[in-house]
Amino acid sequence: MIKTLYVRVILTFLGIIIFSLVCSFFIGLYVFQKQISYEGQNEMIVVGKEIIHRYDDAKPKDTDEFLNSMVKVSAHPIHLYNHAGEHTFYGLKGSPAVTVPPEAVKQVLQGKLYRSSAEDKDIFIGMPFMLDGEWRAMFLQYSAENENIVNRMVLFVLLLVLLLGSVCILIAARYLVEPIKALTNATKRLAKGDFEVELKVNRIDEIGELTQSYVEMAGELKQLEQMRQDFVSNVSHEIQTPLTSISGFAKALQNHDLIVEEERSEYLDIIIAESERLSRLSDNLLKLASLDSEHHPFNASPFNLDEQIRTIVVTCEPQWSAKGIVIDLELPEAIKIKGDEDQLKQVWMNLLSNSIKFTPEGGNIRISIVSSAGEVSVTIIDNGIGMSPEEFNAVFQRFYKIDKSRNGNNNGNGLGLAIVKKIVSLHQGRIEVDSAIGEGTTIIVRLPVSPSAPSRKSLKPFEDTSAPMDIVRE
């Protein structure tokens, strides 16, 4: 059983070449048979005329010797017939005599030229020949020796083509198969977890495209593997930190002699805070997993975006009022969009919570909405600690946190903005960030008024908890 592609390619090409050569030989023989026969007859007519001319000039005494010499010179056997039907054959060694039909002999004795037809088995010509004062019928047959030379030449050419073609196929097959072998070896390495695969892409054909696609796939798999490792590491760290605190303070509470009542209450508050932190981490991980799946519910319905943002501001009042932050709202009335109300509520909640977290006491946050044809832009501007341009994309990565040296509050788990980006993407929107360290941050969320989304299982309807807005400036 042939298993390697290299051998299959070679045998396939060789089979094609041999089949093509054989077919070409027989097709060519069939097509040019008549032409070969006609040209051969013309050559024999010229030879016959030359024999007659030489005989007339030389008038040899020994006719048999003369004709034998002519046969050797021309390599065409000669048949002589007289009116009595007597036949004399002058031939070469190993050259069999052809059968000349009586009709042909009769026609030549009448002084006519005869050419063999397709009905005759052999190629020959006949012409009248005056010999010793009597008309004879002289027939020249096609020389088997000449035919053998032609056949040997054709066979040599065919074998030479086959040999050269085979050598070329061996080289070409190796050229074709080597990249596939390299891909196979690279795939085996990739399957074992080795993502440092390097393949030279120096071809512009289909194999070159396949190699390029493979290199890109290996790069993406490497990134996914790195993301997976980072994810596991980050989740382990985020879970381990509060668990360590909970375990340590719980063990301390077990020792009643060393812990006073005031410290006991403080320790319990820490345990409760860390438990809530774990709960938020679990909720965010579940939400991200749900958003990443194709079956996450998406209930698109029209609602007032300005009212939703006012409700979010009221919900977050304890956080921003505790820091003395002023909220400025520039919200036109009745800005309607179509989207998943619950998901977008999460977007504004996360963005506003982030701004409050990184804005110093007595700071300012401004929220505005601009509506244009087919698109609504929500802008949130704060005068917080800001960030460097290198962090613009990083802040939307999972578990990314602002440097602790610039932010003492590190209670977050780094998943809020990742959830925001995912939800905005589901709504066919986009997020733009502009910031500078120490100068605050501007985040712009652009959403289509009516996004196209797949029909999915609906979420429970959002319960509006609107409240008076006299606590903020509009």
Mean pLDDT, each 10-residue run in order, the chain (474 residues): 63 78 74 71 90 88 89 88 89 82 91 85 88 89 66 75 78 75 83 78 74 83 77 70 80 75 80 80 71 71 90 89 91 85 88 89 92 89 86 74 53 74 88 88 90 44 32 41
The answer to the question of residue 459 being in a domain is no
Indicate which CATH number applies to the domain containing 283: 1.10.287.130
Query: Would you state the structure tokens that stand for residue 162, as one six-digit string?
Result: 């086959």
Sheet of 326-330, strands arranged across: 326-330, 364-372, 375-382, 441-448, 430-435
Query: Do the Cβ atoms of 110 and 81 come closer than 8 Å?
Result: no
Whole-number pLDDT of residue 208: 78
Record the pTM.
0.47
- The Cα 88–Cα 149 span in angstroms is 27
Say yes or no: 252 and 318 in one domain. no
Whole-number pLDDT of residue 465: 33
The answer to the question of residue 156 being in a domain is no
The answer to the question of residue 259 being in a domain is yes
Q: Which residues pair with 137 in a beta bridge?
A: 81, 128
Looking at 148, 163, 197, which one is the last position of a domain?
A: 148
Whole-number pLDDT of residue 1: 45
Say yes or no: 281 and 333 in one domain. no
Total domain count, the chain: 3
The answer to the question of residue 312 being in a domain is yes
The answer to the question of residue 204 being in a domain is no
Say yes or no: 299 and 444 in one domain. yes
Whole-number pLDDT of residue 140: 92
Say yes or no: 341 and 256 in one domain. no
- Which distant-in-sequence residues (6+ apart) come within 8 Å of 49 by Cβ? 127
Say yes or no: 263 and 394 in one domain. no
Say yes or no: 443 and 377 in one domain. yes
Looking at 148, 163, 180, which one is the last position of a domain?
A: 148
Looking at 117, 148, 179, which one is the last position of a domain?
A: 148
Say yes or no: 381 and 427 in one domain. yes
Say yes or no: 301 and 437 in one domain. yes
Say yes or no: 240 and 355 in one domain. no
Say yes or no: 252 and 306 in one domain. no
Say yes or no: 281 and 311 in one domain. no
- Range(s) of the domain holding residue 233: 226-288
Say yes or no: 99 and 235 in one domain. no
Query: Do the Cβ atoms of 218 and 197 come closer than 8 Å?
Result: yes
Q: Environment class of residue 462 by beta-carbon count within 10 Å: exposed (0-12), middle (13-18) or buried (19+)?
A: middle
Whole-number pLDDT of residue 454: 41
The answer to the question of residue 172 being in a domain is no
Whole-number pLDDT of residue 165: 76
Whole-number pLDDT of residue 474: 45
The answer to the question of residue 109 being in a domain is yes
Q: Which residues pair with 433 in a beta bridge?
A: 443
- Which distant-in-sequence residues (6+ apart) come within 8 Å of 413 by Cβ? 238, 277, 280, 281, 284, 399
Indicate which CATH number applies to the domain containing 368: 3.30.565.10
The answer to the question of residue 275 being in a domain is yes
Q: What is the CA radius of gyration of the chain?
A: 50
